[in-house]
Structure 1
């Protein structure tokens, strides 16, 4: 299903997509196509492509690609899939009640949840906001606790 969305493995491809996506939300899914949660998210993204096409573009970024590591480090991608939003080359943040406002961790529960989030990011960006409030109820926002072993 991901054939509907652009797959990115090079830094230049990501840079170009960020720079050239104008007046639309750019949704970057960072993960690996073989990961079960990524597969679930990719299915939701693929089903949503047509519905969000007027106000959003979607790119799939391979977390294991050597040239992508600069983004993996910059956005502190430790859990996948991670979804990052941009608007006119500006990183959009979202307060979803989690400690990290820079990215969405995990899959969305449904196609409609994803569409609702992208719509809120788009509307906020059009008003000049750099951070928006997540429209989803807390029970539909993935919660992750980082577990540290041997410390």
Structure 2
């Protein structure tokens, strides 16, 4: 399914889409096209692309690409898939009850969960908010143990 979504492999492509996506939520999925959880997420992203087209845009970022490592490091992408949200070139954060508000880690359980999150970010962004609460119930949010190196 991911062939329906643009895949970015260069820093310049990521810079351009972040800068040029105006008045829509930009969803960047950082991951690998061969990872099973990424494929599950990509399927949901591709199925919702048309429904979200008025207020959202989705692109995939290949974490193996040497040229995008600046973003992988900046957003601390250690677990894939990780999904990062932007609105008018501003990084949008979401409090989903996890330690990390900068990104969504893992796949969404279903299409509607993803739509609800993007809608919430869009509504919050239109009110000038840069961080908002996750609209999903806690049991629908993937939980990951954060592993700290050298502790």
Cα displacement (A) at 1:3: 2.1
Deviations 1:106-125 (A, max 9, x none): 00000000000000000000
Contact 2:6/2:60 (<8 A) preserved: yes
- For residues 149 and 99 of structure 2, the distance between their equivalents in structure 1, rounded to whole angstroms, comes to 21
1:16-58 per-residue CA deviation (whole Å, 9 max, x = no partner) reads 0000000000000000010000000000001100110100000
Distance 1:65 1:149, change over 3 A: closer
1:58 maps onto 2:37 in alignment: no
Equivalent positions of 1:116-131 (< 5 A) are 116-131=116-131
Is 1:111 the counterpart of 2:111 in the alignment? yes
SS of residue in 1 equivalent to 2:117: helix
Structure 1 outlier segments of 4+, above 6 Å: none
> Within 2, Cα distance between the matches of 1:51 and 1:13?
24
Change in 2 beyond 3 A, CA 1:112/1:147: same
| Matching residue of 1:4 | 4
Structure 1 residue 147: deviation in Å? 4.1
Q: Distance in 2 between matches of 1:99 and 1:23?
A: 28
Aligned Cα root-mean-square deviation (Å)? 1.2
- What is the TM-score with the length of structure 1 in the denominator? 0.97
Q: Which runs of 5+ in 1 are unaligned?
A: none
Name the SS of the counterpart of 1:28 in structure 2. Answer: strand
- Which blocks of at least 5 consecutive residues in structure 2 are unaligned? none
TM-score normalized by the length of structure 2: 0.97
Equivalent residue, structure 2, for 1:94: 94
Indicate how the Cα distance of structure 1 residues 148 and 99 shifts in structure 2: closer, same or farther if over 3 A, else same.
closer
Alpha-carbon contact 2:24-2:56 (below 8 Å) kept: yes
Aligned to 2:16: 16
- SS for the counterpart of 2:16 is helix
Aligned counterparts of 1:149 and 1:93: Cα–Cα separation in 2:
24
How many pairs does the alignment contain? 151
